[in-house]
Chain A
Amino acid sequence: MAIFYQGDQMKNKQIHQAFMVLALSMSFAAVAAESAVTDSERIEQYREMISDGNPAEFDEMRGEELWKKPGGPKMASLEKCNLGKGAGVVKGAYAELPKYFKDTRRVQDLESRLLTCMTTLQGIPEEEITAKPFASAKKASDISSLATYVVGQSKGVKMKVSTKHPKVKESYEIGKRIFNYRAGPYDFGCSTCHATSGVRIRMQDLPNMRSNKKDAQIAYTGWPAYRVSQGLTRSFQWRLNDCFRQQRFPEPKFASEATIALTTYLAVSANGAEYVGPGLKR
């Protein structure tokens, strides 16, 4: 995949389209085959087919450019952004997030921290970023691409989120409660789908994040991820957002304390696992 690094937009687009065609033909094939193959098995086959790369790498490259290029009203790059390991340190930063930050005096996950850096260092108004924080087919999301770049720099690093700081410990405890919080017209919580091992929705396998360490590790380290069905790289905040949509909840505010707490709970549950880099999903 490195050969496409020069930012050859045309070529990237063609490859992207090729992936989409491949993805579509796979789903048609799946319907036609009518075999009891789970989505996970199908994705595993797809992963093997493209084992030399993941389309998320395009988003990583886009994010890297955004990180290094001066931007915003202040025409500053993000190279002085402190993700928890000192100003400008990106390597291994994601594997230790969420973390307590003294300057903002709160616990922050990657995306909320990027939001802080973009507003303070680059002077971009917060509402401008949070109005549409997720990528769509029509428009890429800068904060999302930046997140993809940063997580890529923790490839091969073991997840090590510390709860020593009382604020992180509290965030974890609140996150656990949000995980089990049942509400809405369907009485759903995260726990409805993610607290039993070995079950699935339709053909989609579901990880048990309440009591199965291995499931929690695989699930957390699989995000952010390129979603084949959407042709987009999706951030962790997006993952939580879409879960709440399906829970029939109202929308969680982007980078809010609620989403950060839930992320802390899930990240801590994944401690000890190697972060494998942006994933690849159905």
Chain B
Amino acid sequence: MNSKLIMSIAVSASLALLAAPAQAEKVASGLDAKTAMIVKRDFLDKGIAKATRVNQDALQAACSKYVDNPPTKLKAKLEAAETAAIKWPADGQYMGDWQAGEKLAQSGKGMTWSDKAEDPAGGNCYNCHQLSGKEIAYGTIGPSLRNYGKTRGTGEDVQRYTYGRIYNAKAMNACANMPRFGHMGILTEAQIKDLVALLLDPESGVNK
């Protein structure tokens, strides 16, 4: 057997090995593209929920593509971008009124096509978290926040961390389930402060 022939066999064999995963990837990206086309075509405006809502930002696209588990480097990059976009309160205050926060935490309303533009959005907190000991109808998608302030303290660092976490949970965990309440304009700065107080104020039901 001459060396040329051996060489060409070796090259085609390694090409075949390379082609299998490449082919699978091609199929997958074809399906991704087709899915995006179908979603953009089949979802329509209804009330305040406009069709453009299916257009993904970089974070949503990455979390969808990698089924909430993006490669480490990409995850860090996404988190850095989200962190950089946090708008901190200009007055340097993070705590509002915990009672207003409790009301907000109870409400799961807002931003569906059956809501009106002027209807205020709730915090949806109890849908996923345990908070006040008095509320037994709490969800468990997120961790329990019972005694949040009691166990963490109420120093300024904790206040700032908590504000940031509610403002944009994805800054700490790119594909977290929790909405980006500040970043996406769901809640106002004052409302987020009320939620920080709900979590940290010693008088709040969360810490009683």
Contacts and interface: CB of A to CB of B under 8 A. Distances in A.
* A and B interact: yes
Interface of A: 34-36, 170, 173-174, 177-178, 180-189, 191-193, 195-196, 198-204, 206, 244-246, 248-253, 256-259, 261
A185 B35 contact: no
Contacts of B56: 181-183
A111 to B, nearest CB: 14
Contact of B55 (A183, A200, A245): A183
21 contacts: A36-B136, A173-B31, A183-B53, A183-B64, A185-B53, A185-B179, A187-B60, A191-B68, A192-B141, A200-B141, A201-B141, A202-B138, A245-B112, A245-B113, A245-B114, A248-B49, A248-B111, A250-B51, A251-B113, A257-B38, A258-B39
Interface string B57-79: 00110011001100000000000
Interface string B104-145: 000010011110000000000011100000001111110000
A250 B141 contact: no
Interface string B130-173: 00000011111100000000000000000000000000001000
Given A187-B60, A248-B112, A249-B54, A202 B42 contact: no
B140 A180 contact: no
Nearest to B140: A199
Contacts of B111: 185-186, 248
Interface of B: 31-32, 34-35, 38-39, 41-46, 49-56, 59-60, 63-64, 67-68, 108, 111-114, 126-128, 136-141, 170, 175, 177, 179-180, 184-186
A248 B181 CA distance: 14
B35 to A, nearest CB: 4
A89 B139 CA distance: 44
